[in-house]
Structure 1
Amino acid sequence: MYDFESFQSCDTDDKKLENESVNQGIVENPVTFHCGQCNTVWADSRGICGEATSINSLICLEVTPDVTINSGREWSPDGLFSACVYNTLQCAGCLCLMGVILYSTPQHLSALRNLFLLKKDKMYCYIFSTGQTVKASTLNFNVTPVGERVSELRQLIQETESHLSDVSAVMDDTRANEATSSVQSTS
C-alpha cells in the first residue's frame, strides 16, 4: 500500500521568488516541473489544472513519458484517501514514488478522478521568465475559477461593445458631414 504521508522534501536549493506577482501568476508563465532527486522533467505548466492543497499536490491533465504509472491498482482503507482505488506514479529516472491517479473515490474527491496528482514536496520548478529553480512547495498554483474568468470576459465584451457603439456613432456623424459637404460643393 502507498503511504501518502511519507513523502520527503527534495534535496534542492530552497530559493524563494523575489517577485510575488510572478508567484501568483505562475500557472500562466512557462514552468517545468522536475524530480527533486534526479532532475527528470515530469510536467510543464501547460498541463496544470491547479493545486489540491489538502494533499499538497499539483493537479495535472498530462505528464511527460518519464512519469510511469505503476500497473497494480491499490486501495486505501483509511487516511486522506480512505476508500479510494488508485495507481501510484513513479519517476522513470530514479524510481521514486511521486504521486497517484485516483480512479474510484468517495464523492468529496470525485473532482480528482483520472487526473495526475504530483506531490509538491517531491519536485522543484524551473521558471523560464526568471531563470529560477525553486521548490514547488514554495509556490502557489491556485487557478482562478472558470466562473470568475467568464465574468471578466463578459465585462470586457460589454466594454468593447460600448466602444464599438461610440466608434460607430462617430463614423455615422463623419459620413453625414461628408454627405452634407458633398451636396454643398456640388451646388
Structure 2
Amino acid sequence: MASRVKPSKHRQPKLETTFDLTATGEKSFDRTKDDEDGEDGPLVFVCGKCKLPVGDSLSWDGSEDSQNQIRLKRVTEHVLVGEENRLFEVSKRSVCLIVDLFCRGCHSVLGMVYASTPKKLDHKRFTFWLNVADIESYVLGSASQVLTAEGPEEQPVTLEYRSMVEQQLSEMKMLVMSMALRLEESETTLQDEPSGCDEA
C-alpha cells in the first residue's frame, strides 16, 4: 500500500490544468454493466473530509480491487496534482514513480497518478487513481423527499393568482362595509320613528 504523504507548509501542491486523460469507459464503483439500463443515475465522487466534488462516473475507467482504488479519466479542478515524484512498489519486481493527488479544500491525499512505470504496467498511466477510503459518492437522482399539495385543486401562487385573490378580498370588503352602512341606517330609522305606545 502506498503511504499517505501530506503536503508540507512550505510546499503547496500545484493545480494541474489538463485533466482530460484518454482511456475507455465503464460503469462506476460497485456497479456492473447490467446497471447501465437501470434506474440509477450517475455517481458524483466527493472528498471524504470536506465533501468537495472531485469527479463523476461519466469519467469512469475501471477499478483496482487489490489496491482499493478507482480510475477516472477526468477529475475536477478541486483535485491538485503534487509536484514531487515518489517511489511506489506495486509488487516485489515492479516499482513505479507516482505523484500524489490532493484535495484543494482540505489538502488530504485522495490518490495518485503514475508518472513512470515498467512497460508491463503502462496501462496504469494517464488516469487518475482515487483511494476508495478517501472519497464518498452520491447518486444523482436519488433524492426522494417531496412536498405534497394539500388538495387536488391546489394552485401555485402566481402574480395573476395573487391579483385575483386581492380583487376578491377587496370586493368582499366593499360588500361588508355596504351591509354595515345599511344596518346602521336601519337602526337610526327605527330609533327616530315614534313608538305605538306614545301615540296612544
Residues 51 and 118 (structure 1), Cα distance of their counterparts in 2 relative to 1, 3 Å cut: same
Question: Which residue does 2:44 correspond to in 1?
Answer: 32
CA offset at residue 96 of structure 1?
Answer: 0.3
Deviation at 1:23, TM superposition (A): 4.0
1:106 aligns with 2:118: yes
Matched, 1:94 2:106: yes
1:4 aligned to 2:2?
Answer: yes
Q: Say whether residues 1:49 and 2:47 are aligned partners.
A: no
Q: Unaligned regions of 5+ residues in structure 1, if any?
A: 8-21, 133-187
Contact 1:29 1:45 in 2 (8 A): no
Q: 1:79 to 1:50 in 2, by over 3 A?
A: closer
Change (3 A) 1:57 1:63: same
Give the aligned partner of residue 168 of structure 1. Answer: none
Change (3 A) 1:80 1:97: farther
2:136 to 118, 121, 124: 124
| RMSD of Structure 2 on Structure 1 (CA) | 2.8
Q: Secondary structure at the match of 1:4?
A: coil
2:90, 2:96 within 8 Å by CA — same for their partners in 1? no
Per-residue Cα deviation, 1:9-44 (whole angstroms, up to 9, x for no partner): xxxxxxxxxxxxx94337983110001100010001
Question: Does the 8 Å contact 2:48/2:135 carry over to 1?
Answer: yes
Q: 1:46 to 1:40 in 2, by over 3 A?
A: same
Deviation at 1:130, TM superposition (A): 2.2
Unaligned runs of 5+ in 2: 6-29, 145-200
More moved, 122-131 vs 86-95: 122-131
CA gap 1:121/1:63 in 2 versus in 1, 3 angstroms: same
TM-score by length of 1: 0.54
Separation in 2, partners of 1:121, 1:38: 14
Classify 1:75/1:31 alpha carbon distance in 2 versus 1 (closer, same or farther; 3 Å). Answer: same
Alignment partners' CA distance in 2, 1:44 and 1:58: 11
Q: Percent identity?
A: 24
2:64 & 2:41 partners in 1: Cα distance?
A: 20
Greater helix content: 1
Please give the alpha-carbon distance, in whole angstroms, between the structure 2 residues aligned to 1:80 and 1:4: 11
- Residue in 2 that maps onto 1:162: none
Distance 2:59 2:49 in 1: 22
TM-score in terms of structure 2 length: 0.51
Q: After the TM superposition, which residues 1-187 of structure 1 pair with which residues of structure 2 at under 5 Å, given as runs?
A: 4=2, 23-24=31-32, 25=35, 29-76=41-88, 78=89, 80=91, 82-131=94-143
Q: Give me the whole-angstrom Cα distance separating, in 2, the residues matched to 1:6 and 1:26.
A: 34
Q: 1:63 Cα shift?
A: 0.2
How many residue pairs get aligned? The number is 115
Structure 1 Cα separation of the partners of residues 91 and 58 of structure 2: 27
